[in-house]
């Protein structure tokens, strides 16, 4: 399907992935690449409405399967409206979360298991898989603390996106473990980066990994071989 390059960012809440995604987008644009940035849930007008329902702490009694279905409804809309057209146009697409989040949060956190998530992915995402996934894994306690603090500080009174961040430690531990399981299973696609390093050090690691993949995909020029003039 894809002619461009599809890159996803994953991690626990508060892992710093959104900051890194923005910095990577600027780095790639500076090299002349056409970059499309999107996120899940959200990224489209319909998706933003679904996001409101999913993340609002005031949403109560949402069944785990309903939550799973809403995540995939949002994703199908984002693929149709944003991701597929951008890839067909040859863009590098940077997506803040994708199906690995559903496997980690609904499959692991909500204990629905991986199988139902992967089956829904097949049905609703038309065989689209990331070319590369950057998984930012910071120390577990630190991420959780950062996520809760961030939500308290940044959310305006009428927008409280903390429904997942308020889940207990066990939930987040299961999300963390599932991410590790996904990375071990899909090691050809998923690169784990230690999110406890300073922001600039993480950025350098990410750009080195991504630039190399884009050179291999023919989207960036190859570096001259060492010693060749």
Q: Among residues 40, 77, 133, 143, which is the contact residue for ligand TMP, using CB under 6 A?
A: 40
- The label of the residue with tokens 């989040």 reads 101
- What is the per-residue binding string for ligand TMP in 52-71, x denoting contact by CB under 6 A? ---x---------------x
Residue 85, preceding peptide bond in cis (omega within 30° of 0)? no
Q: How far is the CB of 107 from ligand TMP (least distance, A)?
A: 9
Cβ atoms 23, 200 nearer than 8 A: no
**Which among 86-94, 102-110, 131-139, 186-194 is the span making contact with ligand TMP, rule CB under 6 A?**
102-110
| 44 belongs to the binding site for ligand TMP (CB under 6 A) | no
List own/partner pairs for 209-212 with CB under 8 A and 24 or more apart. Answer: 209/132, 209/134, 210/7, 210/24, 210/28, 210/132, 210/134
Measured distance between the N- and C-terminal CA atoms of the chain, rounded to whole angstroms: 38
Q: How far is the CB of 191 from ligand TMP (least distance, A)?
A: 18
**Which among 20-28, 36-44, 183-191, 213-221 is the span making contact with ligand TMP, rule CB under 6 A?**
36-44
| 43 belongs to the binding site for ligand TMP (CB under 6 A) | no
Cβ atoms 207, 24 nearer than 8 A: yes
Q: Among residues 102, 133, 134, 219, which is the contact residue for ligand TMP, using CB under 6 A?
A: 102
| 164 belongs to the binding site for ligand TMP (CB under 6 A) | yes
Nearest to 12 by CA among 209, 204, 177, 207: 177
Q: How far is the CB of 209 from ligand TMP (least distance, A)?
A: 21
Nearest to 42 by CA among 11, 64, 75: 75
**Sheet containing 92-96: which strands, arranged edge to edge?**
35-39, 92-96, 5-11, 132-137, 190-194
Q: How far is the CB of 151 from ligand TMP (least distance, A)?
A: 9
Residues 103 to 142 in contact with ligand TMP, rule: CB under 6 A: 105-106
| 5 belongs to the binding site for ligand TMP (CB under 6 A) | no
User: Which CB, 103 or 131, lies closer to ligand TMP?
Assistant: 103
The SS3 of residue 79 is: helix
C-alpha angle with apex 156: 150 to 157, nearest 5 degrees?
A: 115
Q: Among residues 16, 41, 47, 108, which is the contact residue for ligand TMP, using CB under 6 A?
A: 41
**Which among 100-108, 131-139, 179-187, 205-213 is the span making contact with ligand TMP, rule CB under 6 A?**
100-108
β-partners of residue 191 are 134
Residues that bind ligand TMP (CB under 6 A): 13, 39-41, 55, 71, 97, 101-102, 105-106, 164
């Amino acid at each position: 399907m894809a002619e461009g390059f599809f890159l996803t960012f994953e991690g626990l809440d508060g892992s710093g992935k959104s900051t890194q995604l923005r910095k990577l987008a600027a780095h790639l644009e500076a090299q002349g690449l056409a970059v499309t940035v999107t996120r899940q849930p959200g990224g489209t007008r319909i998706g933003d409405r679904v996001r409101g329902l999913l993340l609002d702490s005031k949403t109560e009694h949402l069944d785990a399967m309903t939550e799973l279905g809403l995540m995939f409804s949002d994703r199908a809309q984002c693929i149709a409206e944003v991701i597929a057209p951008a890839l067909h146009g040859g863009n590098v697409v940077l997506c803040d979360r994708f199906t690995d989040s559903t496997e980690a949060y609904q499959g692991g956190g909500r204990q629905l298991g991986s199988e139902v998530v992967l089956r829904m992915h097949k049905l609703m995402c038309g065989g689209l898989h990331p070319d590369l996934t950057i998984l930012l894994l910071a120390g577990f306690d630190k991420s959780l603390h950062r996520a809760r603090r961030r939500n308290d500080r940044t959310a305006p009174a009428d927008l409280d996106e903390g429904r997942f961040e308020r889940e207990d430690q066990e939930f987040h531990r299961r999300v963390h473990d599932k991410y590790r399981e996904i990375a071990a299973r899909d090691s050809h696609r998923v690169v784990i980066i230690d999110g406890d390093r300073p922001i600039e050090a993480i950025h350098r690691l990410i750009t080195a990994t991504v630039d190399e993949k884009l050179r291999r995909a023919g989207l960036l020029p190859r570096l001259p071989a060492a010693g060749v003039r």
